Amino acid sequence: MASLVIDIGNSYTKAAVFEGNELLKVEYYQKPDLKQFNELIAGRDIGKAIISSVKKDKANWQDELSTRVPTVNFTRDMAVGINNHYRTPQTLGIDRLVAVMGARCLYPDAANLVIDAGTCITYDYVDAYGNYYGGSISPGLQMRFKAMHNYTSALPLVNADENFDSPFGYDTETAMRSGVQNGLIYEITGFIQSYAANSPAMNMILTGGDGIFFDTLLKNSIFAPYIKNEPYLVLKGLNAAIQQHND
């Protein structure tokens, strides 16, 4: 019997169908509705569903979906294998918690640093014993470009460019790309170096909507060969939670 897993993020809603631990299908939606979910699960025997959301308001399709499939909302006490030492656990973002849980499920006997490149970039570390103490949050790729445009009177709105690989900019647009993209390289490698100093054998896991772009961005980094790209890390974490959830 299959499971439906739904992750409601700031920019997109991701939905996946799992058969046990096997990922069968994934879809991304900007404005999801019940019809889209019905199309995703059509012809499949869905026994249960789980929803995780970073938003406070419930989507209008959630109640309708629960009439078709037994549905649970992910809560912090469902974090399988994580010893949460965050000082304010009630404020810890659900997406961050699920991401480290996903890492823990994929690599259960190792320390893991999760770099989630979404609307914001989060850095979260869980040790080999499942202890989580906290992490870091910084502006995401697009947020940085938009901030420079929105909070100045002269800087244009610039898009990211995966082909930009200069150490400096040679006009205003490329100078902005250098600041954002090179700045992110320095930021990410700096965090990795900091954690690796105490945990040299840790896994470095890249996920999130901009994960593929960041993978390209880091291609010349000394850490690039060791970074694991797991675009469905959060979905896998949610699936682990629903598999072990008792109704």
Over residues 103-133, the pLDDT tens digits come to 999 999 999 999 999 999 999 999 999 999 9
Flag whether 94 is marked binding.
yes
Which domains, from first to last, does the chain contain? 2-73 (3.30.420.40), 77-235 (3.30.420.40)
User: Given a cut of 70, is residue 96 above it in pLDDT?
Assistant: yes
Residue 209 and residue 11 in contact, taking contact as beta carbons nearer than 8 Å? yes
Of 23, 167, 47, residue with least CA distance to 102: 23
Distances (CA, A) of 137 to 31, 42, 94, 238: 26, 38, 14, 21
Per-residue pLDDT tens for 7-21? 998 888 999 999 999
The catalytic position among 33, 77, 95, 171 is 95
pTM assigned to the model: 0.92
* 232 is known to lie in a ligand binding site: no
Q: What is the tens place of the pLDDT at every residue in 55-66?
A: 878 888 988 888
Which pLDDT band, with edges at 50, 70 and 90, does 246 fall under? low
pLDDT at 247 over 60: no
Of 10 and 142, the one with more pLDDT: 142
Query: How far is 140 from 187, CA to CA, in rounded Å?
Result: 12
**Residue 95 annotated as catalytic:** yes
Q: Is 91 annotated as a binding residue?
A: no
pLDDT digits (tens, 9 = 90+) for 145-187: 999 999 999 999 999 999 999 999 999 999 999 999 999 999 9
Stronger pLDDT, 68 or 86, i.e. the higher one: 86
Q: Is 119 annotated as a binding residue?
A: yes
For residue 136, which phi and psi values (nearest 5 degrees)? Answer: -140, 150
Is 121 flagged in the annotation as binding? no
